[in-house]
Amino acid sequence: MTTKPVPRYDVIIIGAGVAGIYQIKRLTDLGIEATVLDAGGDLGGTWYNNRYPGARFDSESYTYGYSFSKELLNEWHWKEQFSSQSENLRYLNYVAEKFDLRKYMQFNCQVEAAHFDEANDLWQLKIDDGRKLTCRFVIMALGLLSTPTLPRYEGMDAFKGCSFHTFHWPHEPVEMAGKKVAVIGTGATGIQVIAEIADKVGELTVFQRRPNWSAPLNNSPISNKEMADIRSRYDEIFATCARTPGGFEHEPDRRGFYAVSRQERVELWDRLYDEPGFGIWLQNFREIFTDEEPNAELSEYIAERIRQRVNDPMTAEKLIPRDHGFGVQRVPLESYYFEAYNRDNVHLVDISETPIEQVTESGLRTSERDYDFDIIVYATGFDAVTGAFDGIDIRGIGGKRLRDKWNDGPSTFLGMFVHGFPNLLMPAGPQSGSASTNYPRGIEIGVNWCTDFLEYMWEHGYVRADATLEAEERWTTHVTKMYSKMLMRKAKGWFTGYNSNVDGHEHGKTRYFVYNGGTPKYVATINEVAEKGYEGVVLRSDSSVTSEFPVASVDGVDGVRVSK
Ligand code: NAP
C-alpha cells in the first residue's frame, strides 16, 4: 500500500462563535478528532467582540439560545426578552463549560492560510504563531459580521483622544461621564450605542450620512414565572421558528395588503409598533418586501411615528430615510433612540450635507467646521459575509484563490460548498439559510446538516467531497433570481454587499449574499439533496488512507502524521 499522510485533525473548525461552539459539540459527541481555532482571546465571536454599550439581541432571547439540549433549556434563565451582550457571552461560556468544550478550542490563533493538498485530500492551515496544521475537513464558522471596517479619512492616526470601532470596544470600562463623544454611523450598532450613552456622556455628536429605518425593541425583564412558561413551551416555540420564513416566532400577516382597508392596516401597524421585537417587520403584510406601494404606505406610517417622538421637526426629518423604504435594509430595533435627540447634550450632524473631511488631532473636521472630541466611536459596519473569508489565503484545486473566485460576489452550492474547494464546509456561509434569518436557528440547521454529511462520508469511507460546478451555478442563479423579487435588491446595505469603505463594494454592484427563500424552503431543499445521496456533490474514497479517525499524536512534519 502506498504511504499517504493522515491529517493531524479530522476536522478543524475556524471560529468559536455561536456556530463553532455547536459544531464542535456535534463532532466531539461523535468522537471525532477536531479542534476550533479562533483569532480572538476567547470564545463567543460576535458576543465576545461587540462590547459596546447597548449591544443586545433583537431576536427574542429564548429563540436565540441553542435548542439541542433539553437540560440546557431547562437550566438557563433568560433575564430579558432581548438579552444584553454580557449576558449572551455568559450564556455561551455556560454552554462551553457545561459540555466541556473549551478543551477543544485554541484562542489567539489567526488562520493566515488554508491550502488544499490535492494529492492527499487534506487541508493545510498556517496559523499566525508559525504552526502548520492539517485536517481532512475544514469548517468555516467565521461569522457573517466579523470583519469590521473603518472609514478612509485622512488623519485618522493623528487623533490624540480615544477612538475605536464598536467591534473593538475596549474590554475595560470606558470612562464617558462628562466627555465629548462622537459617533459615526447610524446602522443597527450606532443606533444601539447612541441610545445607550446619550444620558451618560457630556456631549454626544452623531455624524449621520444616511438615516436608517428603525422601530422600538420594547424590551422587558423575564420573571421566573414567565421563564417557567417559556420552558414549558420550548417545543412549540422552536416548531414555530422552523415554519416561519425568518426563523422567528413572528409570522407574516397572510391577509393581502390590498385585501384589507387602510384602517385595518393602520390598526395592525399601531399594534405591531408597540409590541416587542421584529413584529413590525416580519409580522407585516408580505407585500411590503416586494411591492413599492405598500412599502411606501408603511414607510410613511413609520415616518409619522418618528415625527411624534422627536421634538424638533427639522431633526425629525433628518432622521427619516428618503433613499429606501422601511424593511428593505436590515431593520435595527431601538430603545429610546429617537428620544435621545430631544436631549440638549445630543447633536445630529448630517454629513450628507457637510461631509467629514479629515480627522484632526483634537477631533473631526467637516466641510463646515471643526469639532473637538475626547472619544470618537466608529460604528461604521463590516465587510460582511465574505470579508472574513477574504482575510484568509484560501486556495483550492490548482491553487485557485477563493478571494479571486468570489471577487464579484460569492457562488456556492446551498451556501455550504464551493466548487473547486473540496472538503471545505460552511454551516452558515454566504447564500445559506442562516444569513437572512434568526441566526442561531439557521446555524443549528446548517451544523446538523454538515455533521450528517460528514457522518455519511465517514460511513462510506469517502475522503473527498466537491460540489459540481453545475450544482453551484444552479444554486447561485436561484439565490440571485430571488433577489429580483425583493425591493431589498436596490438597498445600500450588507444584504446586497454594499460597504463604502471596501474597494469594489461601493454601491452599484450587487453581491448576492443571502438566501431569501425563508427557512422552510431552505430546509426542504437541503434535506432533499441529502436524501438523494448528496446529489450535486462528487464524493471520492481513497483506499490508501489507512486511518479514518487519526489519533492526536503528531510524528510527521508540520503536524502531519504519516500512516504506515
Ligand atoms: P451598518 O448597518 O453597515 O451601518 C454602518 C453605518 O456607518 C451606516 O450608517 C453607514 O452609513 C455609516 N458609515 C460607514 N462608513 C462611513 C463613512 N466612511 N463615513 C460616514 N458614515 C459611514 O453596520 P452596523 O450598524 O454595525 O450593523 C451591521 C449589522 O450587524 C446589522 O445590519 C445587523 O445585522 C448586525 N447587528 C445586529 C445587532 C443586534 O442583533 N441587535 C446589533 C448591531 C448590529 P451609510 O449607510 O451611508 O453607508
CA of 189 relative to ligand 1 center, distance in Å: 6
Our mutation pick for probing the ligand 1 site, out of 213, 500, 502, 507, counting the most ligand atoms within 8 A of Cβ, is: 500
The predicted pLDDT at position 559 comes to 34
Our mutation pick for probing the ligand 1 site, out of 64, 82, 209, counting the most ligand atoms within 8 A of Cβ, is: 209
Ligand 1 pocket check for 319: Cβ under 6 Å: no
Q: What is the pLDDT of residues 353-394, one digit of tens each?
A: 999 999 999 999 999 999 999 999 999 999 999 999 999 999
Q: What is the pLDDT of residues 102-120, one digit of tens each?
A: 999 999 999 999 999 999 9
Span 416-443, average pLDDT: 95
Residue nearest to atom 27 of ligand 1 (CA): 188
- Return the residue matching grid coordinates 474514497: 541
* 194: Cβ contacts below 8 Å, ≥ 6 apart: 54, 183, 186, 204, 206, 337, 340, 346
Q: Quick check: 388 and 359 in contact, CB under 8 A? A: no
Q: Quick check: 7 and 136 in contact, CB under 8 A? A: yes
Span 492-509, average pLDDT: 92
Of 391, 399, 436, 397, the residue nearest 417 (C-alpha)? 397
Span 189-193, average pLDDT: 98
Reply yes or no on whether the pLDDT at 1 is more than 60: no
The grid coordinates listed for 85 are: 451582550
User: Cα torsion for 499, 503, 509, 512, to the nearest 10°?
Assistant: -60
The predicted pLDDT at position 4 comes to 76
CA 452/CA 25 separation, integer angstroms: 13
Ligand 1 pocket check for 144: Cβ under 6 Å: no
Give the whole-number percent of the chain exceeding pLDDT 70. 96
Q: Which atom of ligand 1 is nearest to the CA of 185?
A: 7
Q: What is the pLDDT of residues 140-168, one digit of tens each?
A: 999 999 999 999 999 999 999 999 999 99
The predicted pLDDT at position 545 comes to 46
Reply yes or no on whether the pLDDT at 290 is more than 80: yes
Give the whole-number percent of the chain exceeding pLDDT 90. 93
Residue nearest to atom 45 of ligand 1 (CA): 210
Ligand 1 pocket check for 381: Cβ under 6 Å: yes
Reply yes or no on whether the pLDDT at 561 is more than 70: no
Reply yes or no on whether the pLDDT at 463 is more than 80: yes
Ligand 1 pocket check for 106: Cβ under 6 Å: no
The predicted pLDDT at position 547 comes to 39
Q: What is the pLDDT of residues 8-37, one digit of tens each?
A: 999 999 999 999 999 999 999 999 999 999
The predicted pLDDT at position 58 comes to 94
Residue nearest to atom 31 of ligand 1 (CA): 188
Ligand 1 pocket check for 26: Cβ under 6 Å: no
Of 186, 202, 381, the residue nearest 194 (C-alpha)? 186
Q: Is 393 helix (H, G, I), strand (E, B) or coil?
A: strand
Span 424-441, average pLDDT: 93
User: What is the reported pTM?
Assistant: 0.95
Span 519-529, average pLDDT: 97
Ligand 1 pocket check for 209: Cβ under 6 Å: yes
The predicted pLDDT at position 286 comes to 95
The grid coordinates listed for 434 are: 442562516
The predicted pLDDT at position 3 comes to 67
Q: What amino acid occupies position 19?
A: A
Of 109, 142, 127, 105, the residue nearest 39 (C-alpha)? 109
Q: Is 229 helix (H, G, I), strand (E, B) or coil?
A: helix
Span 441-456, average pLDDT: 97
The grid coordinates listed for 72 are: 440546557
Our mutation pick for probing the ligand 1 site, out of 18, 184, 189, counting the most ligand atoms within 8 A of Cβ, is: 189
Burial 21-38 (b: 16+ CB within 10 A, else e): bbbbbbbbeeebbbbbbb
Ligand 1 pocket check for 58: Cβ under 6 Å: yes
Reply yes or no on whether the pLDDT at 309 is more than 70: yes
The predicted pLDDT at position 544 comes to 53
Residue nearest to atom 19 of ligand 1 (CA): 151
Span 217-238, average pLDDT: 98
Q: Quick check: 450 and 139 in contact, CB under 8 A? A: yes
Least confident stretch, 88-97, 179-188, 426-435: 426-435
The whole-chain average pLDDT of the chain stands at 94
Span 125-147, average pLDDT: 97
The predicted pLDDT at position 512 comes to 94
Beta bridge partners of 183: 206, 377
